Amino acid sequence: MTLRDAVRTASNSVSKASRDLALISQDSSLPLAERLTALRKIAAHDVGDTWLRRSRGLERDFDQSNLYLKFEGENPTGTQKDRIAFAHAEDALEKGATTISFATCGNYGVAVALAARLVGIPCRIYVPAGYHTKRLVEMEAQGGIILRPPGSYEEVVDYSSQEASRNGWYDANPGQANSALQLRAYSHIADELLRQLGEVPATVAVPVSNGTLMAGIFHGFVRLRDAGTIRQLPRMIAASSTHKNPIVSSFLAGSRTCVDLDPVKITESDVNEPLINWHSFDGQEALDALHASGGGARHVSDAKMRKLSTYLSQKEALQVLPASTAGLIALLEAPAAEQGLRVAVLTAKR
């Protein structure tokens, strides 16, 4: 099969101030504490704190109200993946890693390659042989070493993890031991939303694949509630490609357990690829978040995602990957009873 996962307008770079700091974070002759401080300053300056804005155009055209867009595409490599990539780079540096290893279909590879370069750690990037992504060139430009083993994405994740274990490399793959770190990295989106809105949103809708992003945002709000900063939690909405994601399918089936799908029945396209899988690595955490928040889930077709991506380009001057619109579509299709201050997370640039 030939799949495409590419953010075409990302800069894949950081600011001049961060490039200067990278001279410190990359220098293995310097004390670890000094290098870590420099990396944290880079992340604080260039990663996260993405913009949030109210879309009156969408409100008018779709008979909505209080609709906000949180755009993750302005991260250095154009997606939310930079948040967890920099968290892994910091963890790898702190642990004295000599190599970072992981599997990707495209976007995550560029994010980790950039973060790894900024800390001076080589990274080995496993991309399934059947996947085509224009971002391979970008990964290599950041110093990534590309390997193309056969198998599905899920199989290549397992293979790359085995290789990391066998060689003593740092494993930056999703799920298992890395879930806590990745959920924590994404949880900062909750802090940003609270600060930017001045209150807790009634609903937060997120496109889901592995479920890490949505689960992380919910964990952030739970942390804020447990600290006494807020009293209520938002209702989480998961949206993904129709019948091609275990989280959405499990929730709509009334299951409390995230049940894997049959890989044979999964059909990829150039639109839905960032969303689909037969096994979501953090699917149970995401499903738990849906149930705990009284949330909802929705299947979204390729046609709808293409159409809304075009609308955002023409009407909002916002270039987003079609798959990134899944959560927003779920909000726009929500019944009137679900109105309130609502946020759709847009995860990637076109």
Looking at residue 337, what is its pLDDT?
56
Looking at residue 2, what is its pLDDT?
42
Q: For the beta carbon of residue 263, count every other beta carbon within 10 angstroms.
A: 12
Query: Which pTM value belongs to this model?
Result: 0.94
Residue 19: what residue type? R
Torsion (CA) 190, 192, 194, 197 in degrees, nearest 10: -130
Looking at residue 6, what is its pLDDT?
55
Query: Would the CATH topology of 16-44+81-177 be identical to that of 50-78+178-346?
Result: yes
- Rounded to whole angstroms, the Cα distance separating 114 from 72 reads 17
Q: Which of 71, 151, 143, 67 is nearest to 112 (CA)?
A: 143
* Domain residue limits, the chain: 16-44+81-177, 50-78+178-346
40-59 tens-digit pLDDT? 999 999 999 999 999 999 99
Looking at residue 47, what is its pLDDT?
97
Which residues in the chain show pLDDT less than 70? 1-10, 336-339
Q: Which of 35, 23, 117, 25 is nearest to 77 (CA)?
A: 117
127-162 tens-digit pLDDT? 998 887 778 889 999 999 999 999 988 899 999 999
Q: Which fold has domain 16-44+81-177?
A: Rossmann fold (3.40.50)
Phi (first) and psi of residue 135, to 5 degrees: -80, -5
Looking at residue 333, what is its pLDDT?
93
- Rounded to whole angstroms, the Cα distance separating 218 from 211 reads 11
Helices and strands counted in the chain (H then E):
13, 10
- Burial of residue 91, with CB atoms counted within 10 A of its CB: 0-12 exposed, 13-18 middle, 19 or more buried: middle
CA distances 100 to 85, 109, 124, 347, Å, are 11, 11, 6, 24
Pick the CATH number of 50-78+178-346 from 3.30.230.10, 3.40.50.1100, 1.10.287.3510, 3.30.420.40: 3.40.50.1100
